[in-house]
Structure 1
Amino acid sequence: MTAETIVAVDTRINARWVIPIEPAGVVLDHHAVLLQGDRIAAVVPQSEADQHYRARQTLDLSNHVVMPGLINLHGHAAMSLFRGLADDLPLMTWLNDHIWPAEGKFVNSEFIADGTRLAIAEMLRTGTTTYSDMYFFPEVAADIAYDTGIRAQICFPLLDFPTMWGSGPDEYLAKGTDLINHWQGDSRIMPAIGPHAPYTVSDEPLRRAIQLASDTGVSVQLHLHETAFEITDALDKTGQRPIERLDKLGLLTSTTQCVHMTQVDDSDIQRLQSSGAHVIHCPESNLKLASGFCPTHTLAQAGINVAIGTDGAASNNDLDLFGELNTAAMIAKAVASDASALSAHQALAMATIQGARALGREHELGSLEAGKLADVIAVDLSDPFLQPVYDPVSHLVYSNHGRQVSHSWISGVPQVQEGRLTRIDVPDLMLRVSAWANRIQPGKSG
């Protein structure tokens, strides 16, 4: 670019620190992130931006980190309305005795709309710009996500038994095919297939899901190796570990997202390596349900892509992905008996570029690079209790809370400004949430 060249852009963000994620391990001081339309135009020193760029809007964020928006790769968004409903219980008791009965009684399209909007509000406010959802009435969830402007992978559920969304596998697959046909190719809404788990989906529906994924190219996300009981039960009934069964069926591919993976042996790692499947780590949910520990350091050393998710607010109980990164880093060190396992930089990568890789969209998302989609967040590190700031990356993972997110853009469109949501009517949403709480547990809300 010559000295005389002036480039017009929509937005200039001057930041104390820019963490581009790629190149890895880099922190840029006093740089500007320039947005044009729905893309990142450039990331340059502020002195170079002064010389070569003119922006319609300039934000001076002198105490902030600017970085890619976070990618929350697993959750059940509408379950935010069940937050705190059934705590301190093991997984199968939690599911069988509390969550599934509550779902049968309360979940309908209105529940999904309000619960999804509540989850999106929390995720946007804490830095998430892309999330993955696996829940009932996915067509409603997709519409809500689209209307609010967030980016979302919407996985339609597949189970052997009837639910409030369908009578069984035939209806789930038919509705899911409609979902894929409606949204495929959209920049923000990514339809996907969501078999619940190996213990709730038999071989024939899985084969049909595999064929649908092959025909359409969409991803498959499922809960896998979440508990020790899941493994022993499968071995007793089939003589195979669940991942072995899925591999033989043809489900493990480079578009498969394996959620949890707390029970991992060498044969599991070999199957993940050879298939190119991704692992989605949900550390806080796994801790709360006492499900086990995903060996993220071992998986990373084996070259397996590991992304991160919060799981649903009923088993977490928040959707703050920065908090999840803190927990993930701490667990990794303890499990590996190595304080250098999952460094702060590596943790941020897990919630950005590695999440984008699991979605097959690393060429568009997950780092601040010219030409990529403008999914950007700013985090304010001026709080007195975050001082002094020797290393902003360390602060983001070990000291920060997601509420320090001050700004957010998705495809260049502001979603959070000065800590305020721009596209969600929070007072109206709170009235709806309160009404649901009074229905679910009369007299106990508020």
Structure 2
Amino acid sequence: MNHALTAADLANGHQLLMPEWLLLKDGPVRGHAVLAKQGKFAAVGPAAELRAHYPHLPALDLPQTLLMPGMVDTHNHLTQAYGKSLVFGEPSEIFRRIWVPLEGQLDHHHVYLSSKLAALEALRGGFTTVADAGTRSAASVDAIARATTEAGVRCVLGLICNDLNGSAALAEPGEIIGRAARHLAQWESHALVHPSLAVSIPEAASDSMLAQVSGMCAEAGRVFQTHANEHLVAVERSLVQRKLRPIEHLHKVGALGPQALLAHATLVTPGELKMLADTGAAVSYNPVASAWKGNAVAPAELMNTFGIRVGLGTDGTRSDAFRLLDYAESAQRFAYGMAAGDSSCGGGAAWLEHATWRGADALGLQHVTGEIAVGKDADFLLVDLDVPEMQPSWDISWELVRLANRDQIQAVFVAGKLRLWQGWPVDWDAKALMRDISGAARTAVAAAPIQKIHGFASARGVQP
């Protein structure tokens, strides 16, 4: 990285950026440049050609720098940022004992603060797009939209449409569908917020609601989100209640399709894999969640081989894209590759694809983001390659998956605007947000009826 470079050098939104390396959809290339204009990539190509075509524009040389697409988190819970370490060491289905009680205590202001903190963490970790799976708070999701927009991250904003709580109805179906229609319409044309509808888990909605909500998303060109086949206990409940596994249940009611994004899908049968492939449904592969509180690892490489669309998700565990890449490859290796003698498990380039343009495709945003290409929104990172970990360099794709660190991210751009410089926002006070959250989070956690199975590893912290 040119150490004389400053945030002010990047403030000019109408200049040629000339990185040493540029990560395109087909792989990394040298000697290329990009031009961002009005929030989109206006030109991408060999540096000499762009210099000749735009002789009147200034050119900013970026030696020992990689310009790459911002990464895409296809599954997050932005309103759970208050309780990140509350779940460490806890058994599965933590949503029942921790997340539902905690989110139930969050008012509009808490939802805003938590979401803005999560958005900041995402940007610091190299994510320019995050998909929020929906909050269980009674507060309006407008608070999430406000927070993510102010932070500058692109957000797929889920609205929960559950109509069942066990055998009890939660609300009139017409009321839920009306709210869902208004949500889709409200954010239809927003620059950074992309509306989505969600059902927490298939058993939380009636068959008609699952079909209607998924159908509404298909008609609107938006993504329908749900958690499916994540935990053994949930699979068994579905078998007891419906004599179908969750993905089989979704398929039977017509909720699968190109609009469907299933989070986790770790416990899948060959038949369910075929259902996903045949319907064009997508899967969010969450390897860190599998390690921290899951029952299994999704066969992401096999899914990709069978034509199932796969993106990477954090599940709100930690918003560090480079560590997620490492986990994605390592989890496949431990769960499947080692037993089969597979020494590549897709290779480094494959996981970069799942974190960028394949992730955007899983969210239905392939026309908006995920790659450095003319007409796409200018969501990108400047990554410092002048570090010991990246020297000597032989295969930059593998090196990004296994060796790169979050602290190498020098700049984060979303829609052509510089959002972060060296890890901190350029136009709002992140430290003030952190001070506000310090007290607010403790108040919310103390009031929530959280049930932790294990105590804290140290005496410090707030006891729930």
Within-5 A mapping of 1:356-367: 356-367=360-371
Partner residue of 1:444?
461
* Paired residues of 2:74 and 2:359 also in contact (CA < 8 A): yes
Q: Return closer, same or farther for 1:278/1:214 CA change in 2, 3 Å cut-off.
A: closer
Match of 1:238 in 2: 242
Name the SS for the 1:340 alignment partner: coil
Distance 1:57 1:421, change over 3 A: farther
Task: Write the distance in 2 (CA, Å) between the matches of 1:420 and 1:57.
Answer: 26
Distance apart, 1:348 and its partner CA: 0.6
Contact 1:157 1:193 in 2 (8 A): yes
Moved more, 63-72 or 410-419: 410-419
TM-score of the pair, normalised by structure 2: 0.86
Alignment of 1:390 with 2:394, yes or no, is: yes
Deviation at 1:169, TM superposition (A): 5.9
Q: Counterpart of 1:67?
A: 68
Is 1:174 the equivalent of 2:178?
yes
* Distance in 2, Cα, partners of 1:122 & 1:71: 13
Per-residue CA shift, 1:142-185, capped at 9, x if unaligned? 222233332111010122357xxx95364544333222111113
Write the distance in 1 (CA, Å) between the matches of 2:56 and 2:388: 32
Shift of 1:344: 1.0
Q: Which residue of 2 aligns with 1:379?
A: 383
Q: CA deviation at 1:301?
A: 1.1
Counterpart of 2:128 in structure 1 is 129
Cα distance in 2 for partners of 1:374, 1:19 equals: 13
Select which of 139, 144, 147 maps to 1:141.
144
Deviations 1:346-383 (A, max 9, x none): 00100111112112232332111222221111111222
- Output the CA distance in 1 between the equivalents of 2:13 and 2:109: 41
Cα deviation code 1:266-291 (max 9, x no counterpart): 10111011100001101101210032
Percent identity between the aligned chains?
26
Alignment partners' CA distance in 2, 1:232 and 1:58: 60
> What corresponds to 1:157 in structure 2?
160
**Is the 1:15–1:32 contact (alpha carbons within 8 Å) kept by the matching residues of 2?**
yes
Distance 1:363 1:100, change over 3 A: closer
Point out where structure 2 has 5 or more consecutive residues left out of the alignment.
1-11, 447-459
Q: Hey, what does 2:454 align to over in structure 1?
A: none
Residue equivalent to 1:107: 106
Q: Which residue of structure 2 lines up, in the alignment, with residue 343 of structure 1?
A: 347
Alignment of 1:229-378 (within 5 A): 229-312=233-316, 316=317, 318-337=318-337, 338-378=342-382
Which residue identity does 2:429 align to in structure 1? D
- The CA RMSD over aligned residues, in Å, is 2.2
Distance 2:58 2:120 in 1: 25
Aligned-partner residue type, residue 46 of structure 1:
A
User: 1:70-109 to 2 correspondence within 5 Å?
Assistant: 70-92=71-93, 94-104=94-104, 106-109=105-108
2:20 is matched with 16
Q: Distance in 1 between matches of 2:407 and 2:176?
A: 37
Structure 2 partner of 1:413: 417
Is the contact made by 2:157 and 2:196 (CA closer than 8 Å) also made in structure 1?
yes
Aligned equivalent of 1:44: 45
* Per-residue deviation, 1:77: 0.8
1:49, distance to aligned residue in structure 2 (A): 3.4
State the SS of the aligned residue for 2:116: helix
Residue by residue, what CA displacement relative to the aligned partner does 1:314-363 show, whole Å, maximum 9, x if unpaired? xx2x1112211110011112333212112111001001111121122323
Cα drift, residue 263 of structure 1: 0.7
Counterpart in 2 of 1:5? none
8 Å Cα contact 1:161-1:169 kept in structure 2:
no
What number of residue pairs does the alignment pair up? 426
Classify 1:210/1:13 alpha carbon distance in 2 versus 1 (closer, same or farther; 3 Å): same
| Alignment-derived partner of residue 218 in structure 1 | 222
Amino acid at match of 2:258: S
Q: Is the 8 A contact 1:139 1:179 kept in 2?
A: no
Distance 1:49 1:418 in 2: 28
1:15-34 equivalences in 2 (<5 Å): 15-20=19-24, 22=25, 24=26, 26-34=27-35
Q: Answer yes or no: is the 8 Å Cα contact 1:9–1:53 preserved in 2.
A: no
Q: 1:349 to 1:300 in 2, by over 3 A?
A: same
Aligned equivalents of 2:208 and 2:233: distance in 1?
23
Q: Secondary structure at the match of 1:184?
A: coil
Residues 140-149 or 111-120, more deviating: 140-149
Instruction: Return 345-354 or 335-344, whichever deviates more.
Output: 335-344
Contact preservation (8 Å) 1:121, 1:424: no
Instruction: Pick the aligned partner of 1:184 from 168, 188, 196.
Output: 188
Q: Separation in 2 of the partners of 1:131 and 1:300?
A: 21
Q: Which one-letter code corresponds to 2:98 in the other structure?
A: H
* AA aligned opposite 1:148: A
Q: 1:217 to 1:169 in 2, by over 3 A?
A: farther
Q: Answer whether contact 1:272 1:278 (CA < 8 A) is retained.
A: yes
Give the CA deviation at 1:31: 2.1
**1:116 and 2:115 aligned:** yes
Aligned-pair CA distance for 1:433: 1.3
1:426 aligned residue: 430
How far is the alpha carbon of 1:202 from its aligned partner?
2.6
Q: CA deviation at 1:407?
A: 1.1
Matched letter for residue 123 of structure 1: A
* Cα gap change, 1:441 to 1:304, in 2 (>3 Å): closer
1:197 to 2:198 alignment: no
Q: CA deviation at 1:408?
A: 1.7
Q: TM-score, normalised by structure 1?
A: 0.89
SS in 1 for 2:44: strand
Output the amino acid matched with 2:388. Answer: P
Match of 1:280, SS state, is strand
Q: Residues 161 and 199 (structure 1 numbering): CA distance in 2 closer, same or farther, change over 3 Å?
A: closer
Change (3 A) 1:172 1:401: farther
Give the drift of 1:55: 6.5
**Counterparts in 2 of 1:101 and 1:9: CA distance versus 1, 3 Å:** closer
Does the aligned pair in 2 maintain the 1:39–1:412 contact within 8 Å? yes
